[in-house]
Structure formats: C-alpha cells, structure tokens
A and B are shown apart, each in its own frame.
Chain A
C-alpha cells in the first residue's frame, strides 16, 4: 500500500517536472523570437545547457557510482575535437589547417552524426583508459584520470598529428549553434532556434541519464557507491558496471564537448585544462552530489554568475574575491551535508 502511494507521488512529481521543463522550452523559444539574439541571456542558456549535460554526466560517476573521476575535461576535449574535425567545411579546410595543407580529412559529416561520433569516440577512449584506471581506489583514481586528461591534451597538441587535429592550432568555421536558426533566402533569420536546440540536446541526453539512473543498472550503481563489498556479494559485477558507467559518462561528456565547440565556435586543446574539470566539479558539488536537478540548476546559475552577473566586477578585478566566497559557501554546505547517516565511514586509514 505504502509502496503504491510512493509510486503515485513519483508519478505526479515526474509529471510536474516534465511540465516545468516543457514550460522552460516554450519560454526559451518565445524569448528567442522577441529578445535581441545578442543578449547575454542566450549565452548563459547555451553554455549553461552544455555545462548542465557535462555536470550531470560527471554526477553519474561521482554521485551515483562513487567513482571520483577528474577526467571530464579530457573527454570533452575528445568530443570537441571529433566534432570539429569532421564538420569543418571542406572548402574552409585550407584556411583552418593552414599549416598542414588542408589536413587529411577531406569530407564532412552532418552535425548530429559528428556529435554522436564525438560521444562514441570519447566512450571508446574511456573504455581504454578505464582498464588501468578503474582498478584504482578513490583518490588514486582521481589523480590518474586527471593525468589522463592532461595526456590527451598533450597528444592532441602534438605537431605530428597536425594533419588531423591541426596541431595545437584552432579548429574553427564548423557549424555552431547559430546555424540552427532558420534563415530565409536573403540570409534574414525567420525563426531563431540557436538556444532551443542546445537546450533540447542537453534535455534529451539528461533524460536518458535519468532513465539510466532509475533502471536496474542505475540501482546497481548506487549499490556500488554505498558499499562495494555488499554490492559484490549481491551479485553485482563491479568491474563491468564501473566500466560501463565510466563509458556512459564519457559518452555524454564527449557530446557535451561537441556542444561546447558549437557554443565557442572555435576549439583549441589549450582551453581544456584541469581548471575546467574543477569548474564542473564545483557545479556538481554546489548542486548537490547525486542530484541531477541540482546539477542542472547550479550549472545555469554558475554560468550566469561568472559570465553575466558578476562581469561588471571585472574592471576592479573583483570576480575572484566576490565569486569565491559565494562558491565556497555552497561547497562547505554540501560537503558537510554529505555526512548523512547513510554514508559509510571511509576515512579510516
């Protein structure tokens, strides 16, 4: 009986959140048609959607599986590069690959194929990397995944891979979010979609992650997070579950990387630093480890705060001192909140 009630509650909650999400989409669509497209609002929405996806994918690992991975920037880098490499128009390649005679790849894929490929390649690398890394325990895993992100960055910048990756130079001129706008023959924009589409992509991907989390697989992951030994005793295969979770998370990080490329309109390995991973970790922690909604909301808030609301402080270089206490508070709150009764004591040496 009580079970039934609980289920009903979840159902109504699902409906309510679905309605809210739908409203947001409608609002975004309407806003886009009537507010000047140059408004910072859309920047925040586009980048926020991208970060939300990446944050949720990180949460899948850190929050739901208990794997503390710091390799997110590396997988985003792979995603962004795969997207860039396969979508730069052939005619522009001679300009983009200016030091490599136009590069090796001389065809283009449609954006959605390239985007899916971004995810797949990132997942493939995650599979390779997972073999040595996932055997490691918490903090070793963190530092090893961080190391992998650094290695990937160096490999992508290697001059000898230049014909494919353009070395350390920028990839650009590929389709960006603005190309989603529907234009009339004279180039005049008829319907603005440049904000709605990224929101939709992120929404669909996050939806898939939510479904995963609520499936048997997701419950197995949570069991691993709460107690590996008990989970194993219940018949959950640790290695394969962890690896799959790692690959899935990286897939979406790769897609997120492709979205970031579209948002930025240029891609360069130089930008995908550890600091980017930390930023996403901050978002996850502020939103609450193990909370999808939290990750989404906090990523929009984080992007809005750092790119928009606090930019006026730039001139006095206040962004550091003002932003940080704000973030730190969220930090501490969440960190302290995690000491719930369900958490097993893991500090003992």
Chain B
C-alpha cells in the first residue's frame, strides 16, 4: 500500500508540479546551445547536482521542493530577452546565470522589470552588475581576472609582448582583453589586439600574426568552441608561446584538446579540483551513474570551475530564499545583499554593487600528457 501511495505521490508530483503550492522555482538562464553551449551545460551540471543533493528548502517554516526551470538563451543576445521572459512567465523566484556576460546583460532588463533578482554565476564583465540593483554575482570580475593574468604573464612568464584575440561582439572577450591590456601595459609590456568574426574556424593566420609580432603570450579568453580550435591549431603550427585564458578555458574540453600536444595552456579559474573532497567525490559519483550528465561534462569526470560555481550559486539562492522567508521575488531581492555563504569555491558575500567579494583566483595549467588540469598557483591582487 505504501509503495502504491508513494508511486501515486511521485506521479502527482511530476504531473502537477507546476500547480503545487509547495514548490519554489529557480530559473536557470543558461546557454544549452551555441558557442557557449558546452560551458553553459557544465555550469548547469553544478546546479543540477546541487539540486539533486538538496532538493528541498525551508522557507518560512514550510518545506518547499525546489524546481529548476530552464531557459536556453542560445549564447545569443537576440534570443536572451525572450528566454529571460519565459522564466519570468514561469514565475521563478530567483534566477541563476548566465554563462557569458553578453546574454546576461541582454536578459537583465527583463528581470529588472519583473522585479526578480538574478545571481550571475560566471559572467565576469563589470557591466552585468554595474547600475543594476537586481543583478548579483558569485564570481570575480574581469578587471581582477585580467590583472591576475597580466601579472602572471609579466612576472611568472617574463613576457613583454602579448597578443590578445577576442570574438567580435562578445562582451566577455572584449572586456577581459581590455583589462588585460591595461594591466599588462601598466607593467611595461606591449599588447596587440585583434578580433575574429563569429563562426571563425580558421585561426592559423591569427596565430601567425602573434608569431609575427614576436608575442611571448597568446591571450585568448574566448568561448570553449573557439579555444579548442586555437589550441589544436597552435599545436599543429608548433607555436612556442603559451596560451593564456580566463575562466572559460577552464574546461576538460580544452584540456582534452591540449592533450598530447606541446601547447602550454594557462588559465585562471574559480575552483581547483581537490579543494573540497566531498563535493568532488559526490559529483563524480553522480556523473558515473548519470550518462547524460557525463556527456554534458565532455565525456569525462574532470570538474570544471564553472560547475563548482553553479553548485555554489544554487546554495546561495537557497540561502536567499531562507532569509527572505517567502518565495516572493521581491522579498528574495531584499534579502540577497545580506546573504553570506561558504561554498566550495570559497566564502561568498556581496558588496554594494552586488558583486561577490573575491580576492583569489587559481591559476591552472594543462598537463599535456594526461590531459588533466594541474594547479600552479593562487594569485591575489592587492
């Protein structure tokens, strides 16, 4: 009898989860397709795993089921507004995302008008939160990341000439390249910047350009789709300069591309595997039993920085819901600035603009033999 009841209950949950009063909805505003699709999916994995681990939350004394509502913004700023609107329409209390700063900015106004707070997970461009009272974020910012990388390039690698490459119309790339350039030039280096049009597959000439100016580092904080191409083409050209990237490159898709080559890939990221054994093991166990999740993680169980961030963002959202004591988005918004949380990626609290206060970035490099990420150093900026 109990079994039947349980099954019936489960069925009811599935069938009328939308109509259930005891459900709180969290919007997942992430790209599942397009150039950033791979990264978006890894970020979502963190949220999905967190949701699996903690599927309920106590709000105002009642237990609510947490439902993740997805909207694919297709890595495209023209699709982002309607994707955002579909979340608003679904009645979410708080939004997580997105991977990629451009789509976050494009969806921002929709959330603002609906009075729904959004927690940016890995959108690092300052413009995402600047002047937006409703946008928060749990990651560090591009000026910080750009400075860290410039410091690393200049001090650790001893580079004086850098080549930066970004995608046209990608706010993340453009922002990070600009901040890198500022910091690197302040350290006495010279920088040449170039852009490539969306959809480019042939990076040989850009690599030749970099070699042509005698670049000692090749800085390309681009989407995973492009960075894998760049790494492989650099390998076949026998490029001697290291390839530097931001948090987007911290993905096993990129490390796989560098496996078996001589290309030195160095990235800054949010999380370093091994920092939290419970999370690492739990996540890997989940990947081992869920084939689809494993595919979305690029086919192996190396943990990407964005996954850890997605995981933390989910818990920050839960903390905010608890603090708000209500599923009303306005209450969540009011509660969010004061939320603090100790996540797997470190301590999270928000400053006045809604940015997480972060002073540490991890620098990682690819082991060309095994295709694993190896921890290099922890960088802080004073």
Contact = CB atoms under 8 A, between A and B. Distances in A.
Is there a contact between chains A and B in the complex with CB atoms less than 8 Å apart?
Answer: yes
A263 B107 CA distance: 11
Nearest to B111: A38
Contact of B89 (A40, A159, A178, A270): A40
A170 B113 contact: no
A207 interface: no
Interface in A5-64: 37-40, 43, 47
B294 interface: no
B174 interface: yes
A154 B33 CA distance: 24
Contacts of B33: 317
B105 A317 contact: no
Nearest to B103: A266
B102 A268 contact: yes
B105 A266 contact: yes
User: Interface residue tally of chain B, by bracket?
Assistant: 20 to 34
Nearest to B70: A315
B85 A168 contact: no
Interface in B168-186: 168-171, 174, 178
A95 B33 CA distance: 29
A307 interface: yes
Interface string B185-202: 000000000010110000
A79 B130 CA distance: 27
Interface in B201-244: none
Given A95-B127, A157-B168, A315-B70, A266 B86 contact: no
A314 interface: yes
Given A47-B82, A170-B102, A314-B32, A39 B169 contact: no
Contacts of A265: 81, 106, 109-110
A293 interface: no
A170 B106 contact: yes
A269 interface: yes
B230 to A, nearest CB: 18
Given A168-B168, A266-B105, A271 B86 contact: no
Contact of B127 (A37, A98, A270): A98
Interface centre among B72, B76, B168 (most CB of A within 10 A): B168
B209 to A, nearest CB: 15
A276 B76 CA distance: 12
A167 interface: yes
Contacts of B105: 170, 172, 266
B174 A99 contact: yes
A176 B106 CA distance: 12
Contacts of A311: 71, 86
Contacts of B197: 154, 157
24 contacts: A37-B113, A38-B113, A38-B114, A40-B85, A43-B81, A47-B82, A95-B131, A99-B174, A157-B168, A157-B169, A157-B195, A157-B197, A168-B170, A169-B169, A169-B174, A170-B102, A170-B106, A172-B105, A264-B106, A266-B77, A268-B106, A269-B169, A270-B198, A271-B76
Q: Which 6 A-B pairs have the closest CB atoms?
A: A270-B169, A271-B78, A168-B169, A168-B168, A265-B109, A38-B88
Given A169-B169, A265-B110, 15 more contacts: A40-B86, A95-B131, A157-B169, A159-B195, A172-B105, A176-B109, A263-B81, A265-B109, A266-B106, A268-B78, A268-B106, A269-B168, A270-B170, A311-B71, A317-B32
